[in-house]
Amino acid sequence: MTFETPHIRVQDLNLYYGANHALKNISIDIPDKKVTSFIGPSGCGKTTLLKTFNRLHDSSLEVKVEGKVLLDGEDIYAKGVDVTAIRKKMGLLSQRPFPLPMSIYDNIAYGPRIHGERDRHKLDHLVEQYLKDVALWDEVKDRLKAPASRLSIGQQQRLCLARGLAVEPEIILGDEPTSALDPVSTQKIEELFLQLKEKYTIVLVTHILRQARRVSDYCAFVYMGEIVEFAPTEQLLLDPKEKLTKDYVRGFLS
């Protein structure tokens, strides 16, 4: 399945962890302003694939990446590419929230600050705006100076989302972002994703099929480092074409 103007286009991507061939000939188009989910059993490579999008493997010596990842048509693995500029275009939500070791306010203001925003009033405004965007403002507006680590895990994850949004990305990468959260917090994050896809392209790694179905428009099934099938979510989950996908969706494969 291909798209006319995909936001991210992966072409013949291969990734090696030392001798381990972790991603094999991946080619996939991630559509603009939609939610695309990667499903698959643990260790299948879905998180590894996600992290190639903002070059998070860069600091690992054992990882070798071959092939292309085109962001709006430009190869992010080409020589002379500014990695920080690419990463600024993508917010990352990890499996467990990792707030920065600073106050709630500074967590949100961190991104704008490193990218040059110094104006106190503007920062105040940004902090309020993004905390409202993730429905956290009312819960924390009286204690913005408190350490972010004092928030509950669910609140921390929403804070991390707001922190990512504050650098004005185009894409949100979610690496099983609800796996550490309780059902209520999970629901909040999912609702946010549905709102945010109006403005952002979202790529979501998840091992919960029902979550993929609730949130995503398109879904890719990843197995043993390969994309087995990529289709609109309903179609992939309800009427898969490949036998492997069928087996996984029905719970025979894990």
Nearest approach in angstroms of CB 190 to other proteins is 21
Strands lying side by side in the sheet with 218-223: 90-93, 171-175, 201-205, 35-39, 218-223, 226-232
54 lines the binding site for other proteins (CB under 8 A): yes
The residue count for binding other proteins (CB under 8 A) is 33
**For other proteins, which is the closer residue by CB, 47 or 233?**
47
DSSP string, the chain: ---SS-SEEEEEEEEEETTEEEEEEEEEEE-TTSEEEEE-STTSSHHHHHHHTTTGGGG-TTEEEEEEEEETTEETTSTT--HHHHHHTEEEE-SS----SSBHHHHHHHHHHHTT---HHHHHHHHHHHHHHTT-HHHHTT-TTSBGGGS-HHHHHHHHHHHHHTT--SEEEEESTTTTS-HHHHHHHHHHHHHHTTTSEEEEE-S-HHHHHHH-SEEEEEETTEEEEEEEHHHHHHS-SSHHHHHHHTTS--
Q: Which one of 42, 61, 250, 252 is in contact with other proteins (CB under 8 A)?
A: 61
Q: Which stretch binds other proteins (CB under 8 A): 42-50, 90-98, 182-190, 219-227?
A: 90-98
Nearest residue (CB) to other proteins, 147 versus 232: 147
Location of structure tokens 């609140």:
155
Residues within window 154-213 making contact with other proteins, judged by CB under 8 A: 160, 163-164, 167, 173
The tokens of 151 are what? 């928030």
- Least distance to other proteins from the beta carbon of 114, Å? 5
Pick the closer one to other proteins by CB: 43 or 101.
101
Q: Does 99 bind other proteins (CB under 8 A)?
A: yes
From 88-96, 190-198, 200-208, 236-244, give the range in contact with other proteins by CB under 8 A: 88-96
Of positions 14, 24, 41, 100, contacts other proteins by CB under 8 A: 100
**CA 136, CA 96: separation in Å to the nearest integer?**
18
For other proteins, which is the closer residue by CB, 165 or 228? 165
Shortest Å, Cβ 214 to other proteins: 25
Residue among 56, 71, 131, 236 that touches other proteins (CB under 8 A): 56
Which residues in 105-164 contact other proteins (CB under 8 A)?
Answer: 110-111, 114-115, 147-149, 160, 163-164
Residues making contact with other proteins (CB under 8 A): 54, 56, 59-62, 84-85, 87-88, 90-92, 94, 96, 98-103, 110-111, 114-115, 147-149, 160, 163-164, 167, 173
